[in-house]
Structure 1
């Protein structure tokens, strides 16, 4: 259940603020600050957030 709550929190964060979440993880993943992301990356993060939220809510209701 704790994993589902964590997934729900990450999903909500990605859904509401995809740029902040993606930029945070890209800063951790790369040592070079000269990384440019394509604009669709943020839209994909928002879609991923929606999928995570839907999955977590469905699993939490099933318990």
Structure 2
């Protein structure tokens, strides 16, 4: 089972928090906004980390499609 991960570019404030918290899953794109490096999560630890990032994101831009 996979969990899709994405960043809503319209909601992203470019704080860089996602990339700082989990650089294996996120980076800042050339436009200064967050960008997902791994679009489909399978490792429960990555899913938990991405959920933590989503909860902390100041723009609410990190989205996980969890069942």
**TM-score computed with the length of structure 1 as normaliser:** 0.31
| Higher helix proportion | 1
**TM-score computed with the length of structure 2 as normaliser:** 0.30
| Higher strand proportion | 2
Which entry has the higher C-alpha Rg, 1 or 2?
1
Q: Larger relative CO (CA 8 A, sep 6+): 1 or 2?
A: 1
